[in-house]
Amino acid sequence: MAMIIESVPNISEGKNKDIIEACVDQIRTTAGCTLLQYTSDPSHNRTVITYMGSAEACEEASVKLAKKAVELIDLTKHVGEHPRMGCVDVMPFIPIKEATTEDCVELSKRVGERIAKEADLPVFLYEQSASAAHRENLASIRKGQFEGMAEKVKAEQWIPDFGGQRIHPTGGVVAVGARPPLIAFNINLSTSDLTVANNIAKIIRRSSGGFDCVKAMGVMLEERNIAQVSINMTDFTKTPLYRVVELVKAEAARYGVHVVGTEIVGLCPMNALFDTAEYYLQIEDFNPAVQVIENHLL
């Protein structure tokens, strides 16, 4: 059976449809690569693209995407709520079928080296591909963002893995690596007070003593005039969606605020939704493999 790998790069453009489509076209036109979804957020000024295919197909699509992004996206003019350090900000590879973490690590290193050479974008390896422990966490690499990165890479511990001790003047730097499946999950609040979202994010994220495998920050959705808790869940088997939602509801209530909606960005594992349905419906002895009709049709 053929190896299948997923990639979910984030590009730093969420408003200009022509630029977004030109970047997504790099995936559409790569043989052996299937575009699954892309989602743009104008407030974040960011687009998440999801595709999968063989290692070779993902490699070609990813390099093409980086070359097009650096051609069209100028971070000196970029404004958005989401932190960013590169025109392609992050490019993860995830093993899906007949693929291992090691396969994705090797792929990330090939792609990183090619992006540095062919797109002239310096590359940091992160997560399971990281060359040092302090580079595993994307937030640690991205701290300082594009505006502070030229100074940051002067330090010995922050020299990019590929591309030299520099940044691209308009494209910045890129993080490339292998990681497990991640759920990008946003919770919107009935307030325009960003402090509330920041305080809730601090309570739920692991780095501040919150839930395991949860990263979170507060952002402002200017076009809707509401605050959002933006969350990355790196292992839903350790911390499920419903547990995060319930704590956010409880903490929001302390400020007289409630949840007005949630959002899954990109794709998520089916079992993450089954877990949540089982919790809220209080289903006893639920077995999705047996009791879900569609599972008998796959």
* Domains in the chain: ranges and CATH: 4-178 (3.30.990.10), 183-293 (3.30.70.670)
Enter the tokens of residue 232: 């990355």
Enter the tokens of residue 36: 């699954």
Q: Tell me which of 82, 134, 168, 296 is the catalytic residue.
A: 82
Say how far apart CA 62 and CA 70 lie, in whole Å.
Answer: 12
What confidence tier does 297 reach under pLDDT thresholds 50, 70, 90?
confident
Percent of the chain scored above 90 by pLDDT? 88
> pLDDT value at position 150?
96
Cα-based angle 115, 120, 121 (whole degrees, multiple of 5): 65
Cα-based angle 288, 53, 231 (whole degrees, multiple of 5): 60
Enter the tokens of residue 105: 């690590």
82 is catalytic: yes
**Is 189 in contact with 259 (CB distance < 8 Å)?**
yes
Lowest mean pLDDT among 22-26, 33-37, 131-135, 293-297: 293-297
> pLDDT value at position 1?
58
Query: Which helix (DSSP H) or strand (DSSP E) does residue 64 occupy?
Result: helix 55-72
Q: What is the pTM of this model?
A: 0.85
> pLDDT value at position 289?
86
What residues contact residue 1 under an 8 Å CB cut-off, 6+ apart?
97, 98
What confidence tier does 250 reach under pLDDT thresholds 50, 70, 90?
very high
**Is 12 in contact with 70 (CB distance < 8 Å)?**
no
Q: Is the pLDDT of residue 240 over 80?
A: yes
Which pLDDT tens digit goes with each residue over 50-99? 999 999 999 999 999 999 999 999 999 999 989 999 999 999 999 999 99
Q: Is the pLDDT of residue 261 over 80?
A: yes
